[in-house]
């Protein structure tokens, strides 16, 4: 089912009501989408949850979603906001980074990033996020060098060089979209 972000101008009142309710319940408001046929999809996270390597992660539970859904359904009714269905969910392992403080919170983790303009002949990057001074961020990514050619016709294998690292520096306003790269350990 296709979903579209709620335009800021159209859903300003709805977004404000939903965000105030979610924050008031002690959660972080991540995103709001309008799904086909008037359905609303609200994404929440635990406020102040850690995302740093080595620190135990906390996740949104079904009970958390149920609590927010119950309260939101009442708030939307009181505010006379029309919708057909309400869905409250966690951001998942590939959490979108929607706000500038998300970039600070998730520094040190691998991220998929798409910039609004070309940098180094590309707009899409995957690498480790870091915070710089003056409201800037950096993404350190691997540059795959071209494999060496065989030294003689009898030698058919080529040796690949170790990947080099490069860095792209950007501001939050340069970002078209970004999300965490899931890190699953068994």
Domain ranges of the chain: 3-89, 100-180
Residue among 27, 29, 57 at smallest CA distance from 41: 29
Report whether pLDDT(37) > 80.
Answer: yes
Superfamily name and number for 100-180: Ribosome maturation factor RimP, C-terminal domain (2.30.30.180)
CATH number for the domain whose boundaries are 3-89? 3.30.300
Q: Are 66 and 2 in contact (CB under 8 A)?
A: no
Q: What is the pLDDT of residues 98-112, one digit of tens each?
A: 999 999 989 999 999
Of residues 37 and 28, which shows the higher confidence score? 28
The SS3 of residue 28 is strand
Q: Is 141 exposed, middle or buried (0-12, 13-18, 19+ CB in 10 A)?
A: buried
- How far is residue 128's CA from residue 139's CA, in Å, rounded to a whole number? 5
The model's confidence at residue 28, banded by pLDDT at 50, 70 and 90, is very high
Do the Cβ atoms of 140 and 126 come closer than 8 Å?
no
When the pLDDT of each residue in the chain is averaged and rounded to a whole number, the result is: 84
Pick from 1-10, 106-115, 117-126: least confident = 1-10
Q: What angle is formed at CA 108 by the lines to CA 51 and CA 145, rounded to 5 degrees?
A: 140
Q: Name the residue with tokens 């306003």.
A: 173
Residue 63: pLDDT band by 50, 70, 90 thresholds?
very high
More confident residue, 146 or 125: 125
């Amino acid at each position: 089912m296709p979903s579209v972000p709620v335009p800021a101008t159209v859903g300003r009142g709805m977004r404000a009501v939903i965000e105030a309710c979610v924050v008031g319940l002690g959660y972080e408001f991540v995103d709001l989408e309008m799904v086909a046929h008037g359905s609303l999809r609200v994404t929440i996270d635990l406020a102040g949850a850690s995302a740093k390597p080595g620190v135990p992660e906390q996740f949104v539970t079904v009970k958390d979603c149920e609590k927010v859904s119950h309260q939101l359904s009442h708030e939307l009714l009181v505010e006379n906001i029309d919708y057909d269905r309400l869905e409250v969910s966690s951001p998942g392992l590939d959490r979108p980074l929607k706000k500038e403080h998300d970039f600070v919170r998730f520094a040190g983790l691998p991220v998929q990033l798409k910039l609004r303009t070309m940098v180094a002949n590309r707009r899409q990057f995957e690498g480790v996020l870091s915070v710089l001074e003056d409201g800037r961020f950096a993404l350190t990514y691997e540059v795959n060098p071209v494999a060496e050619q065989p030294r003689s016709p009898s030698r058919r294998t080529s040796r690949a060089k170790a990947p080099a690292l490069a860095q792209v520096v950007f501001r939050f306003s340069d970002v078209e979209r970004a999300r965490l790269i899931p890190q699953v350990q068994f």
